[in-house]
């Protein structure tokens, strides 16, 4: 199934962005922070990471994804990953730099994952369109909108993403509802740091 085509079809819907959009090839499993904290690297908002698999730091974690957007590119052949956590629409220079970094992977077998945003906040959706137009890759997962914050763990060996349980337990319904309002988020927005 081509998830890019499914995403493009969803984009044309009148109520696009009003409810969670989840397109993937399988369920995202839960993982506990206590189990992975010593073998993971955290990526803060407005930053990026380029990493190749190593046992000592196999995982990359992204905490409190709300109005921002996480985009990862995983090279299936070399277990290399590039991840960007963005809070603003890409500038032309940022997009060129992203293309350059992804091209350095020299892969013909890239998987892309896109996770983030909250209901009705569509300002970062053009970033997804730019990625789709500029970088040839297979869309492996798309998890957009909703009312909850996301904590994500990405495995650099397999490229898979997991729900990261920060308190080492399954959350109760409504417990992850976003507590940050958009005005506070606006104050933290900045350019992407490479």
Q: Do 126 and 89 contact (CB within 8 A), yes or no?
A: yes
Spatial separation of the C-alpha atoms in residues 15 and 10, rounded to whole Å: 9
- What angle, 0 to 180 degrees and rounded to 10, lies between the N-to-C axes of helices 3-11 and 125-134? 140
Output the pLDDT for position 65.
Answer: 93
Output the pLDDT for position 26.
Answer: 79
Please state the pTM of the whole predicted model: 0.89
What domains are defined for the chain?
3-13+39-188 (3.30.1330.200)
| Low-confidence residues in the chain, pLDDT < 50 | none
* CA 187 to each of CA 43, 45, 62, 182: distance values in angstroms, whole numbers, following the listed order: 19, 12, 19, 9
Output the pLDDT for position 61.
Answer: 93
Q: Do 22 and 143 contact (CB within 8 A), yes or no?
A: yes
Spatial separation of the C-alpha atoms in residues 166 and 170, rounded to whole Å: 9
Longest dimension (CA), the chain: 46
């Amino acid at each position: 199934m081509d998830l890019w085509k499914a995403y493009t079809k969803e984009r044309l819907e009148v109520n696009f962005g009003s409810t969670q959009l989840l397109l993937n090839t399988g369920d995202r499993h839960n993982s506990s922070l206590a189990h992975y904290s010593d073998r993971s690297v955290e990526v803060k908002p407005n930053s990026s990471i380029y990493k190749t698999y190593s046992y000592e730091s196999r995982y990359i974690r992204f905490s409190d994804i709300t109005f921002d957007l996480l985009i990862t590119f995983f090279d299936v052949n070399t277990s290399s990953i590039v991840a960007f956590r963005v809070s603003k629409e890409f500038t032309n220079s940022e997009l060129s730099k992203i293309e350059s970094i992804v091209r350095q992977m020299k892969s013909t077998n890239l998987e892309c994952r896109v996770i983030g945003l909250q209901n009705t906040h569509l300002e970062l959706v053009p970033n997804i369109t730019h990625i789709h137009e500029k970088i040839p890759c297979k869309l492996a997962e798309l998890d957009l909108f909703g009312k909850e914050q996301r904590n994500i763990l990405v495995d650099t060996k397999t490229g898979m993403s997991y729900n990261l349980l920060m308190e080492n337990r399954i959350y109760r319904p409504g417990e992850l509802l976003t507590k940050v309002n958009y005005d506070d988020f606006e104050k933290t927005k900045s350019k992407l740091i490479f």
